A and B are shown apart, each in its own frame.
Chain A
């Protein structure tokens, strides 16, 4: 075998060598635990006896689909994720557009807008918990001063989910803003200028020039916000713990409750599997939309 052949063989192996470490990492820390979880969802494993679970087939799933609390949880998860995406992306995009153009004090405004993203979730939740407090929270002080009385922001069935959403949006909108802002920087200045010279107004320029450029970034941000919302635990658990009357009991909160309160690790794994399916469905929708867009652009 000649030296060049050996070199060429080595060259062919290089890409595999590069992807080997992440593959090992994914196998050990993702696929193996995922497989274990899937298997566990078919057993009656309890947390206090994790190695003594018995195979029960689809028993956990059957129980889960028979339980009205599961549908309530699914509804809460979907409502929370969809609304977090809508408001988070809208607010983040508007903020990005607002600070894209130079103005005096832009750096300060940008720093302030980023604050929500920089604060750790637990600290942010505790701050909002105090602001929502019925007796001494700043929101009720404000509403009382306005003469419209007090509200149970986290204790009312109608207000708990919107209140949690407000905290979530405050946290995720800066991230969306950053992503969209980066995309906005890539919009060619000449194209915008040309549109302006051709007499296009601000809205038309945005729709015809800016939006196509930033759409992939918005889609990516929406996908991430959606997946994060499906698996978000800290904010919801700290603010309401899933209450009142299960209105904020998302799948992740249910997983915690099933695993640690009821000690049913098998059942909690079944809840986890449903959450995984949801997240995969969102990713699949994103990929389909992206593929269609690419095809449309190639035409």
Chain B
């Protein structure tokens, strides 16, 4: 055993040698300066899409070898809960890829930083408009997924059914398809309050399709308008016709569609990409069309934001700067199906030919509207809970749509 003075000398010499060794060997010194950027997204868990999306952004590590990207994969059902809790506690990922509603809540709470630098000199398209709040850019569009009517072409052909342009036609075609091919579900749609966050966004397509504006010119919330009554009535008719698989969750319905057991569905482009990937129903056998409503529908918008709590904010913004470049956007395009991206990167002809449903989504994205209520972005889900409770009441208890929406209006007037 060494005596104390010798031991101290020995340890000091060892420490000096270790430092000298670390700085002399490039690999070791390099490893010490490596930066890790944590990116949270629920899509990382999507079977094929997640892998492709990650591969697209992971290319940044080739451009910036000192950066290591790390996935934070959170299931979509838990994403908002987990992120709000973590951010509230001063933690969380460096970059969050989040739904528009959550993005507004995060920005409102002051959890996001200005990322305008990342878009300097970039020709952004209109999908980025809502990323600007009070003159500062807190979000950049990751993807915009418009809604469309999708259908199983072979099932429709077998039934000789037409692609519908009205709700009545949708009911008739769905019934014809189910009658011709036993076991086939007529129409897939969310319809349960236990899936509120998905259902209210899907329902916005019905509402907008019937011309609903949830606010008037002065920003006052208008819930019981004739347009809203018409939309709820149409949804009730569809539900009551028996073409919707009551009780099935959306993932179950999508799986059924994948397995050739659904004739029609109203879904967004992201959901449709999932249906078209790796199932029994070939992508070429899926058709896409405008929804059977008079007016344009909704879209789901996903934003990228950098956390205020991140210790690598500058590096995260640099990563976003790279993401706005043409090669990065092109790589993202290949993994994103027909979703609109932050810059205009057209869907290739080859992709459209292989996926005949895709062009309909691209076209509908030109006129689609946000699922959030203008001026009430942060409270949209709270407001829409009352609306969806009214819809639920109408479809389950045969309540009058006008009365149910009037009740919702009264409750909303009290609270907002």
A residues with a Cβ closer than 8 A to B are 46-50, 66, 132-135, 137, 152-157, 237, 240-246, 257, 260-263
Q: What are the residues of chain A within 8 A of B397 when measuring CB–CB?
A: 157, 245
> Is B81 in contact with chain A by the CB < 8 A criterion?
yes
> Is B248 in contact with chain A by the CB < 8 A criterion?
yes
Q: CA A282 – CA B84 in complex, angstroms?
A: 34
Bitwise, B77-104 to A at CB < 8 A (1) or not (0) is 0001100110111000000000000000
Output the nearest chain B residue to A237 by Cβ-Cβ distance.
B194
A241 touches B247 (CB 8 A): no
A48 touches B106 (CB 8 A): yes
Q: CA A245 – CA B193 in complex, angstroms?
A: 8
Output the nearest chain A residue to B378 by Cβ-Cβ distance.
A263
B84 touches A241 (CB 8 A): no
In angstroms, how far is the closest chain B Cβ from the Cβ of A148?
17
Q: What is the total of A-B residue contacts with beta carbons within 8 Å?
A: 80
Output the nearest chain B residue to A264 by Cβ-Cβ distance.
B382
Given A48-B84, A243-B392, A261-B196 contact (CB < 8 Å): yes
Given A47-B84, A48-B88, A48-B106, A242-B247 contact (CB < 8 Å): no
Q: Which of A46, A47, A48, A132 has the most CB of B within 10 A?
A: A48
In angstroms, how far is the closest chain A Cβ from the Cβ of B414?
8
Q: CA A38 – CA B378 in complex, angstroms?
A: 26
In angstroms, how far is the closest chain B Cβ from the Cβ of A47?
5
A50 touches B88 (CB 8 A): yes
In angstroms, how far is the closest chain A Cβ from the Cβ of B300?
17
Q: What are the residues of chain A within 8 A of B189 when measuring CB–CB?
A: none
> Is B59 in contact with chain A by the CB < 8 A criterion?
no
Q: CA A71 – CA B88 in complex, angstroms?
A: 30
Q: What are the residues of chain B within 8 A of A46 when measuring CB–CB?
A: 109
In angstroms, how far is the closest chain B Cβ from the Cβ of A266?
13
Bitwise, B182-216 to A at CB < 8 A (1) or not (0) is 00010000001111110000000000000000000
Q: What are the residues of chain B within 8 A of A157 when measuring CB–CB?
A: 396-397
Q: CA A47 – CA B248 in complex, angstroms?
A: 31
Q: What are the residues of chain A within 8 A of B385 when measuring CB–CB?
A: 257, 261
Between A and B, 26 residue pairs with Cβ closer than 8 Å are A46-B109, A47-B88, A48-B88, A48-B111, A49-B88, A49-B109, A134-B245, A134-B247, A134-B248, A135-B245, A152-B396, A155-B192, A157-B396, A237-B194, A240-B194, A241-B192, A242-B193, A242-B194, A243-B193, A244-B193, A244-B396, A257-B385, A260-B81, A261-B197, A261-B382, A261-B385
Output the nearest chain B residue to A49 by Cβ-Cβ distance.
B109
Interface residues of chain B: helix, strand, loop or mixed (majority) = helix
Q: CA A244 – CA B195 in complex, angstroms?
A: 11
Closest 5 CB pairs of A and B: A241-B194, A243-B193, A134-B247, A48-B109, A134-B246
Q: What are the residues of chain B within 8 A of A134 when measuring CB–CB?
A: 245-248
Output the nearest chain A residue to B399 by Cβ-Cβ distance.
A245
Bitwise, B360-396 to A at CB < 8 A (1) or not (0) is 0000000000000000000001100100010011001
Given A155-B396, A260-B80, A262-B382, A241-B87 contact (CB < 8 Å): no
Given A241-B192, A244-B392, A260-B81, A132-B109 contact (CB < 8 Å): no
B246 touches A245 (CB 8 A): no
> Is B58 in contact with chain A by the CB < 8 A criterion?
no
Interface residues of chain A: helix, strand, loop or mixed (majority) = loop
Interface residues on B, range: 20 to 34
The listed residue (A50, A135, A237, A245) touching B392 by CB distance below 8 A is A245
A133 touches B248 (CB 8 A): yes
In angstroms, how far is the closest chain A Cβ from the Cβ of B336?
28
> Is B105 in contact with chain A by the CB < 8 A criterion?
yes
In angstroms, how far is the closest chain B Cβ from the Cβ of A245?
5
In angstroms, how far is the closest chain B Cβ from the Cβ of A261?
6
Q: What are the residues of chain B within 8 A of A156 when measuring CB–CB?
A: 396
Output the nearest chain A residue to B78 by Cβ-Cβ distance.
A260
In angstroms, how far is the closest chain B Cβ from the Cβ of A5?
45
Q: Which of B192, B195, B197 has the most CB of A within 10 A?
A: B192
In angstroms, how far is the closest chain A Cβ from the Cβ of B63?
34
Bitwise, B21-49 to A at CB < 8 A (1) or not (0) is 00000000000000000000000000000
B89 touches A50 (CB 8 A): yes
Q: What are the residues of chain B within 8 A of A240 when measuring CB–CB?
A: 194
The listed residue (A137, A241, A263) touching B196 by CB distance below 8 A is A241
Output the nearest chain B residue to A244 by Cβ-Cβ distance.
B396
Output the nearest chain A residue to B393 by Cβ-Cβ distance.
A245
In angstroms, how far is the closest chain B Cβ from the Cβ of A37?
15
Q: What are the residues of chain A within 8 A of B247 when measuring CB–CB?
A: 132-135, 137, 152-155
In angstroms, how far is the closest chain B Cβ from the Cβ of A53?
11
Output the nearest chain A residue to B397 by Cβ-Cβ distance.
A157
Q: What are the residues of chain B within 8 A of A154 when measuring CB–CB?
A: 247
Q: CA A237 – CA B193 in complex, angstroms?
A: 11
Q: What are the residues of chain A within 8 A of B381 when measuring CB–CB?
A: 261-262
Q: What are the residues of chain A within 8 A of B245 when measuring CB–CB?
A: 134-135
Q: What are the residues of chain B within 8 A of A155 when measuring CB–CB?
A: 192, 246-247, 396
A48 touches B87 (CB 8 A): yes
Q: What are the residues of chain B within 8 A of A263 when measuring CB–CB?
A: 84, 105
Q: CA A241 – CA B198 in complex, angstroms?
A: 13
Q: CA A244 – CA B247 in complex, angstroms?
A: 11
In angstroms, how far is the closest chain B Cβ from the Cβ of A40?
13
Q: Which of B81, B247, B392 has the most CB of A within 10 A?
A: B247
Q: CA A243 – CA B396 in complex, angstroms?
A: 11
Q: CA A246 – CA B246 in complex, angstroms?
A: 18
Q: CA A240 – CA B196 in complex, angstroms?
A: 11
B195 touches A241 (CB 8 A): yes
Q: What are the residues of chain B within 8 A of A245 when measuring CB–CB?
A: 193, 389, 392-393, 396-397
Q: What are the residues of chain B within 8 A of A66 when measuring CB–CB?
A: 414
Q: What are the residues of chain B within 8 A of A132 when measuring CB–CB?
A: 247
Q: What are the residues of chain A within 8 A of B192 when measuring CB–CB?
A: 155, 241, 243-244
In angstroms, how far is the closest chain A Cβ from the Cβ of B397?
6
Q: CA A213 – CA B247 in complex, angstroms?
A: 46
Output the nearest chain B residue to A45 by Cβ-Cβ distance.
B88
Q: CA A221 – CA B245 in complex, angstroms?
A: 40
In angstroms, how far is the closest chain B Cβ from the Cβ of A142?
16
Q: CA A22 – CA B306 in complex, angstroms?
A: 43
